[in-house]
Structure formats: structure tokens, C-alpha cells
């Protein structure tokens, strides 16, 4: 073999080795970057795990708060319904009383004047200090109506 051919092979091999070294160096740098990215990725995963566990705790606390708030709200709704039922009964009783008073007023208008002393006696009983004072506005209005009827 010709010494020139050997020299060319040596140069080609030397160039190939140089390219291989450069490629290996690039791969080593990329591997080091990948290791650093892997550590950052692991830290990110740890932070995400921590955040998700906090979120789960917050969701559980919120769920408990909603359930207890719902129970309290249901209790208030039940109490409001009971009060509404009581008020409905009171309104019906007031309506019945107003109808009876209206009927009694109509009857007293139709009757002759001899029923007037009975009205006067009732009004006198209302004015006595022995009778209890009216407790509600409706009782007050009824007493005032009786007094007005007596005066007319």
C-alpha cells in the first residue's frame, strides 16, 4: 500500500474521531440539561402533589361547611313554615271574628233601640279599669269600633 493512502486513511479516521468526540460532547451536554430538567420536573410534580392535597382538604372543608349550612338553612325554613302556618290560623281566626262582628253590627242596626242599653253596658265594661287592656292592635281596633258604635 501506498504511504499516501495510509495517510489519507489516518486523516479520515482522525476526522471521524473528531466528529465523534464533538457529537459525544453535545450528547453529554444534552444529557446534563436533561438531568437538570428532570430535577426541575420532579420539583414541579412535588409542588403539584402538595397543591392537590391542599385543594382536596379545602374541598372537604367547603363540603362540610355547605352541609352544615344546608342543615341550618333547612331548620330555618322549617321554623318559617311553622310560623307561616300559625299566622295563617291567626288570620283565619281574625277573619272569622271580623265576620261575626260585622254580623253583630248588622243585627244591631236592624234591631229596635231597646238593644242600645246592651251595647252601652258592654262599652262600660270595656272602659272599667278591672278589665285587661287590649294586647293586640286588632283588639284595640275592636274596642274603638265598639266605642264609636256606642257614641253614634
Higher confidence at residue 126 or residue 69?
69
Q: Would the pLDDT of 44 be above 80?
A: yes
pLDDT tens, residue by residue, 54-75 = 999 999 999 998 888 888 899 9
Kindly state whether residues 105 and 34 are assigned to the same domain: yes
Kindly state whether residues 81 and 27 are assigned to the same domain: yes
Kindly state whether residues 75 and 62 are assigned to the same domain: yes
- 132 vs 22: CA distance, rounded Å: 112
Alpha helices by DSSP H, listed for the chain, are: 3-110, 116-127, 137-151
Q: Would the pLDDT of 118 be above 80?
A: no
With pLDDT > 70 as the criterion, what percentage of the chain qualifies?
A: 83
Number of domains in the chain: 2
- 14 vs 20: CA distance, rounded Å: 10
Residue 122: the pLDDT is 47
Kindly state whether residues 34 and 65 are assigned to the same domain: yes
With pLDDT > 90 as the criterion, what percentage of the chain qualifies?
A: 39
Higher confidence at residue 143 or residue 12?
12
Range of the domain at 78: 3-110
- 17 vs 152: CA distance, rounded Å: 131
Integer CA distances (angstroms), 22 to 13, 17, 51, in order: 14, 9, 43
Kindly state whether residues 31 and 77 are assigned to the same domain: yes
Kindly state whether residues 99 and 123 are assigned to the same domain: no
Looking at 77, 93, 110, which one is the last position of a domain?
A: 110
Kindly state whether residues 76 and 145 are assigned to the same domain: no
Kindly state whether residues 92 and 48 are assigned to the same domain: yes
pLDDT band at 152 (very low <50, low <70, confident <90, very high): low
For CA atoms 62, 64, 65, 70, the dihedral sign is: positive
Q: Classify residue 130 by its DSSP letter.
A: T
Q: Would the pLDDT of 125 be above 60?
A: no
Kindly state whether residues 78 and 152 are assigned to the same domain: no
Cβ neighbours for 138, distance < 8 A, ≥ 6 positions apart: 94, 97
Q: What global pTM score does this model have?
A: 0.38
Kindly state whether residues 65 and 121 are assigned to the same domain: no
Kindly state whether residues 147 and 123 are assigned to the same domain: yes
Kindly state whether residues 59 and 129 are assigned to the same domain: no
Amino acid at each position: 500500500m501506498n504511504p499516501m493512502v495510509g495517510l489519507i486513511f489516518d486523516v479520515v479516521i482522525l476526522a471521524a474521531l473528531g466528529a465523534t468526540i464533538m457529537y459525544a460532547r453535545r450528547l453529554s451536554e444534552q444529557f446534563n440539561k436533561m438531568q437538570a430538567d428532570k430535577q426541575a420536573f420532579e420539583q414541579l410534580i412535588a409542588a403539584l402533589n402538595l397543591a392537590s392535597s391542599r385543594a382536596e382538604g379545602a374541598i372537604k372543608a367547603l363540603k362540610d361547611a355547605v352541609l352544615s349550612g344546608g342543615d341550618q338553612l333547612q331548620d330555618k325554613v322549617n321554623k318559617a313554615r311553622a310560623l307561616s302556618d300559625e299566622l295563617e290560623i291567626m288570620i283565619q281566626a281574625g277573619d272569622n271574628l271580623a265576620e261575626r262582628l260585622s254580623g253583630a253590627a248588622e243585627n244591631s242596626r236592624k234591631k229596635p233601640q231597646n238593644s242600645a242599653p246592651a251595647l252601652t253596658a258592654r262599652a262600660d265594661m270595656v272602659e272599667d279599669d278591672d278589665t285587661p287592656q287590649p294586647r293586640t292592635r286588632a283588639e284595640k281596633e275592636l274596642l274603638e269600633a265598639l266605642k264609636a258604635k256606642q257614641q253614634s
